[in-house]
Amino acid sequence: DSGVTQTPKHLITATGQRVTLRCSPRSGDLSVYWYQQSLDQGLQFLIQYYNGEERAKGNILERFSAQQFPDLHSELNLSSLELGDSALYFCASSVQDSTNSPLHFGNGTRLTVT
Amino acid sequence: DQQVKQNSPSLSVQEGRISILNCDYTNSMFDYFLWYKKYPAEGPTFLISISSIKDKNEDGRFTVFLNKSAKHLSLHIVPSQPGDSAVYFCAASARTYGGATNKLIFGTGTLLAVQP
């Protein structure tokens, strides 16, 4: 158990809809990261927050947004969903915002857009 | 543009033998490299890392080798065990100008199957 909690585990929704994925980081971790894993793809970095502030952005679509709240949990909002958004979405956390701080991943949310 | 490449989608090894997983990268700014292991229905789990100032790091049965001139790293597992069967991801990060960042770039993974 990594200590990172993601909800829900599975989500099935229709095109055009909006969903919110939630992540609770490990106790004491200040950084939260979101990754997307599509079929046969590696994990694609979406966005990172550190102590409530956006720290780095990857290939995140404009239809997607995220935030980290004062209690350090984070939410990833996906809107105007398309079939291609179907993927595994992982949240990870780390203690610091540095390259010497390995990420700890949750078990992911599997999003299916029909 | 795939900055981190794992060209072998799968690898099959006999129990007790050595498993060698390979990874190539293109960005010379990468200064920290990691290997993650992933079982089905679980998130990736950190396995071992290496800084660009080293060329080898060992942790029990796992050793990571870094060849900066070739932009290549490898993970050796000796001896391989059936419980090692999983997808292995190589990842790299680069310190950005003006500060640290933990933005990890992942490869597409290699599925290791250790046969009993």
Q: What is the rounded average pLDDT of the residues A65-71?
A: 96
In which residue are the tokens 């919110």 written? A20
How close, in Å, is residue A98 to chain B by CA atoms? Answer: 5
Write the single-letter amino acid at A102.
Answer: P
| B86-93 and B72-77 beta bridge pairing | unpaired
C-alpha A4/C-alpha A107 separation (Å) is 8
A102 and B95 in contact by Cβ < 8 A? Answer: no
Under 8 Å between Cβ of A102 and A94: yes
Total residue length of chain B: 116
C-alpha A88/C-alpha A110 separation (Å) is 4
B109 and A42 in contact by Cβ < 8 A? Answer: yes
pLDDT value of position A99: 57
A99 and B102 in contact by Cβ < 8 A? Answer: yes
Under 8 Å between Cβ of A4 and A104: yes
Q: What are phi and psi of A83, to 5 degrees?
A: -55, -35
Using DSSP's 3-state secondary structure scheme, residue A83 falls into helix
**Position B82 confidence tier, pLDDT thresholds 50, 70, 90:** very high
Of the ranges A44-53, A82-91, B17-26, which one carries the lowest mean pLDDT score? A44-53
C-alpha A104/C-alpha A107 separation (Å) is 10
CA dist list (Å): B65 to A88, B23, B71, B80: 30, 10, 11, 17
Instruction: Identify from B25, B45, B102 which residue to disrupt to test chain A contact, counting A C-beta atoms within 10 A and taking the largest count.
Output: B102
For residue B57, what are the contacts with CB-CB under 8 A and spacing of at least 6?
A: B48, B49, B50, B63, B64
C-alpha B46/C-alpha B42 separation (Å) is 12
Chain A residues whose CB is inside 8 A of the B3 CB are none
A31 and B102 in contact by Cβ < 8 A? Answer: yes
Tell me what the pLDDT averaged over chain B comes to.
Answer: 92
Q: What is the rounded average pLDDT of the residues A87-110?
A: 88
**Position B93 confidence tier, pLDDT thresholds 50, 70, 90:** confident
Q: Is the peptide bond between B9 and the residue preceding it cis, with omega within 30 degrees of 0?
A: no
